[in-house]
Amino acid sequence: MKIAVAGTGYVGLVTGVCLASKGHQVTCVDIDEKKVEIMRQGIAPIYEVGLEELMRDSMNCLTFTTDYQMAYKDAEVIFIGVGTPEKKDGSANLTYVYAVAKQIAETVEQDCVVVVKSTVPIGTNDKVEAYIQNCLKHDVKVTVASNPEFLAQGTAVQDTLHAARIVIGVETPEAGEILQKVYADFDAPKLVTNRRSAEMIKYASNDFLALKISYINEIANLCEIVGADVEDVAKGMGYDSRIGDKFLKSGIGYGGSCFPKDTKALSWLASFNDNEIKTIKAAIEVNESQKFKLIKKTKKYYDDLEGLTVAVLGLTFKPGTDDLREAPSLVNIPLLLEDGAKVKAWDPVGVENFKKKVPDEITYCDSIEQTIQDADLCLIFTEWEDVTQFDILLYKELMNKPIVIDGRNCYRVSDFDGTGIIYDSIGRRCAK
């Protein structure tokens, strides 16, 4: 099929590349000419495991352009995959969605289905369809469908090609049939429902996972007080099929482009309609507090950080991505600097993005060894494989004072017993 994808960010580019890999003729549209030129060379502008390789393998079915008129005018299906960042009040900013909708309305010259892939509040697809129909320049039929994404950064390509489910929200059988055709070669359960249910499935799914993370983090905090081990607790819970073992890993909270934004958006939507989802509000509050868990732990070892060297391992919100959105490092490193610490930081892919935010105030290192050299304290924010596989005895050998505070539980506590290294993690006993 002839498909256009509006937006080449995280959602749009992964969607376009994966559809092209199935043989569809896909045109990806972006307003940034430099970004488009890079993609034409087979270079992905974002770091995502397997994306660039699949992109290069699928170039015979991929076109990248800034010319939306060319891309939309005769497309059978147009995916909207632009960002919906949160506003200051927590609601979703739909400016980019409506900007694309306007372009589509002014450009399409044949009947088509517009598919909103972006995460949008319940009822948005209805409004987008009405908006397009009111702005149409040609006598064509445009139907809007909801097809939310369920991608995890770091595994987005696999999550698309081998999806747990494909949700199709439509108001006409014809639109449903077209999307079934789009996804005919995707081996995944396909749920066809109405648009509002599809929109709610996205929010309900993401926010439930955020709930699990905040819940296990609260349990972890209590485990530290009562002497229980949160990993054993989570393992015991996970054997129960009604609970499952996913998203029960304690740490310093969730980040990224989805959970923070989607929990706030659903909470805002409920409040706007004189309702309240108390569990979601609690998850948001717990997560915000959990981000500062490591900073609080430093007070056990130093009265203040003035003049101390602090090593930071990991800047991105999770491994496998260069995304810094809502990463704990963004709020913690400024606090370390305010407290007078000298910060040395390492991340295998996130440094360049972080430099744009904190370019001169910290020392960026090329290796873990270089980062921890002569450090008085080491804080772990991201569980990169380089960190989890690191020789822990090097902490003692290279650090001025071997104090490791781990926000991602990268190591077994027992491995530190008798080493002379202080190892303090989340929801577990402290090793010395």
Tens digit of pLDDT for each residue in 14-29? 999 999 999 999 999 9
pLDDT tens-digit map of 378-403: 999 999 999 999 999 999 999 999 99
241 to 231, 236, 237, 287, 292: CA distances (angstroms): 17, 11, 9, 25, 32
* Separation of alpha carbons 111 and 96, rounded Å: 23
Residue 172 CA neighbour count, 13 Å, CB half: 13
CA 350, CA 121: separation in Å to the nearest integer?
A: 30
Going by pLDDT thresholds of 50, 70 and 90, the confidence category of residue 256 is confident
Residue 238 and residue 184 in contact, taking contact as beta carbons nearer than 8 Å: no
Q: What secondary structure letter does DSSP report for 416?
A: G
pLDDT tier, 418 (very low <50, low <70, confident <90, very high otherwise): very high
In this predicted structure, the answer to whether residue 102 has a pLDDT above a threshold of 90 is yes
Residue 272 has pLDDT above 90, yes or no: no
Report CA torsion sign: 17, 23, 29, 34: positive
258 is catalytic: yes
User: Tens digit of pLDDT for each residue in 340-349?
Assistant: 999 999 999 9
Q: Which amino acid is residue 56, in one-letter code?
A: R
Catalytic residue among 258, 365, 378, 410: 258
Q: Exposed, middle or buried by CB within 10 Å (0-12, 13-18, 19+), for 134?
A: exposed
SS3 373: coil
| DSSP string over 322-358 | ---TT-HHHHHHHHHHHTT-EEEEE-TTTHHHHHTTS
CB 426 within 8 A of CB 227: no
Domains and CATH numbers, the chain: 2-193 (3.40.50.720), 202-290 (1.10.1040.10), 293-424 (3.40.50.720)
Q: H helices within 3-67, ranges in order?
A: 10-21, 33-40, 51-57
Q: Do the beta carbons of residue 39 and residue 109 sit within 8 Å?
A: no
Arithmetic mean of pLDDT over the chain: 96
Q: Which residues on neighbouring strands pair with residue 193, listed in sequence order?
A: 169
